């Protein structure tokens, strides 16, 4: 079931026009209201940034109260279903990002993508395929889908991945695999393991992620 593609927003905390855009991409079964809370935490670090957390384009198969970017498949998560899912969901997310950038008169280099779980999968798929690429990609508790296809991407933005070592939904090994594949393909990829944390974000991960986004916006340079 396709739903309206929109979600909550935060205007710049300084009261001026936005000169940066942070798109927060939620996980499977969640919604934009869940991730917009990250923007509230980071507004002091990023006072001139606008934040938007779109709901996924489909009601979630496993949780009708939430949303999904793509279905996991009748047999559960598997490589083929995930690859098909990110490919099919990418155009809608790209269109949404383009419209949000245009609404603030910003180009694509003024974008940061922040994902959680399935939203990290989407961010790692969409971000490197944009030109210009985003200022950075931050991913929590997610995975890289189709690492063998990284050679075809037009941009290589800085990436930071943060993952709990007690995550029983997406094992921390997925983060290590993603970091290795990104590094092998010329990306600058940082990572942090949150000790004792499950499928979620702890205060340290929240602080490290926000600082990563702020630092890359401050540099103003995107690797292409």
Indicate which residue of 104, 176, 192, 199 is catalytic.
199
CA atoms within a 13 Å half-sphere pointing along the CA-CB vector of 161: 29
Is 199 catalytic? The answer is yes
Is 104 catalytic? The answer is no
Indicate which residue of 109, 163, 167, 194 is catalytic.
167
Distance CA 66, CA 27 (A): 9
- Residue 39 phi, psi (nearest 5): -60, -40
CB 137 within 8 A of CB 123: yes
Indicate which residue of 30, 109, 117, 155 is catalytic.
117
Q: Which residue has the tokens 């396709």?
A: 2
Is 117 catalytic? The answer is yes
Counting every residue, how long is the chain?
224
Q: Which residue has the tokens 């630092």?
A: 215
Distance CA 140, CA 162 (A): 5
Distance CA 11, CA 18 (A): 7
Residue 2's alpha-carbon distances to 176, 185, 214, in angstroms, are 34, 35, 34
Catalytic residues: 117, 167, 199
């Amino acid at each position: 079931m396709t739903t309206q593609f929109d979600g909550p927003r935060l205007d710049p905390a300084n009261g001026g026009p936005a000169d940066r855009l942070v798109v927060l991409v939620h996980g499977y079964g969640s919604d934009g209201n869940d991730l917009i809370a990250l923007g509230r935490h980071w507004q002091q670090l990023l006072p001139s940034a606008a934040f938007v957390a779109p709901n996924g384009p489909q009601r979630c198969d496993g949780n009708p109260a939430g949303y999904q970017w793509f279905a996991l498949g009748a047999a559960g998560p598997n490589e083929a279903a995930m690859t098909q899912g990110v490919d099919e969901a990418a155009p809608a997310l790209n269109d949404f990002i383009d419209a949000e950038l245009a609404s603030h008169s910003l180009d694509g280099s003024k974008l940061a993508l922040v994902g959680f779980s399935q939203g990290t999968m989407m961010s790692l798929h969409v971000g490197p395929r944009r030109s210009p690429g985003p200022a950075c990609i931050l991913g929590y508790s997610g995975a890289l889908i189709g690492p063998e296809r990284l050679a075809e991407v037009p941009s290589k933005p800085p990436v930071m991945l943060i993952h709990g070592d007690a995550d029983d939904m997406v094992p921390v090994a997925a983060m290590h695999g993603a970091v290795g594949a990104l590094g092998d393909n010329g990306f600058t990829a940082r990572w942090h393991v949150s000790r004792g944390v499950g499928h979620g974000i702890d205060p340290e991960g929240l602080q490290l992620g926000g600082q990563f986004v702020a630092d890359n916006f401050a540099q103003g340079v995107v690797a292409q």
